[in-house]
Amino acid sequence: MPKKSRVIPIKAVTDTRNQPRLRYDCSKCPAYCCSYSLIEVGKRDIARLARHFNLGYRKAEQQFTKYDAGTKVRVLRHQQDEHFSTVCRFLDTEKRRCTIYEARPTVCRAYPDTTHCGYYEFLKFERAQQGDPEFIATT
């Protein structure tokens, strides 16, 4: 007699009243997190990029990532940037937004992992000190 499989329902979170309120706004940030020199990607991330661009895995790996010998991991390639020297190659440097948001790597999906973003707090402080709501601190 075959074993009966149980269906375990997964309840969707629809009540956000008890969810912690985020205390940052990525749309007001110049993309500090995209300026990390090493943005690590795994095999699932590369596969997601390959699907997003309708490429094979190897082609996506070659085109979008490079091997970092120091850390022995695959990382996203970078592009030149006027504010941070280099940034993730998928950052729109004019709009300061991710161009692959739906296909972004796991590390980007998880950032920040708290209700606060240190970069956003730094940015708000610097803009208040400079009296300029558009100021971008690059230090």
Q: What is the pLDDT of residues 4-63, one digit of tens each?
A: 555 555 444 555 566 677 777 788 888 888 998 999 999 999 999 999 999 999 999 999
- pLDDT for the residue 2: 53
Examine residue 96 and state whether it is found in any structural domain, yes or no.
yes
Provide the domain count of the chain. Answer: 1
Examine residue 71 and state whether it is found in any structural domain, yes or no.
yes
Q: What's the rounded mean pLDDT across residues 93-101?
A: 94
Examine residue 12 and state whether it is found in any structural domain, yes or no.
no
Examine residue 126 and state whether it is found in any structural domain, yes or no.
no
Examine residue 129 and state whether it is found in any structural domain, yes or no.
no
pTM comes to 0.75
Examine residue 118 and state whether it is found in any structural domain, yes or no.
no
- pLDDT for the residue 54: 98
CB burial readout 12-36, b (16+ within 10 A) else e: eeeeeeeeeeeebebeebbbbbbbb
Examine residue 91 and state whether it is found in any structural domain, yes or no.
yes
Examine residue 52 and state whether it is found in any structural domain, yes or no.
yes
Owning domain of residue 88: 35-111
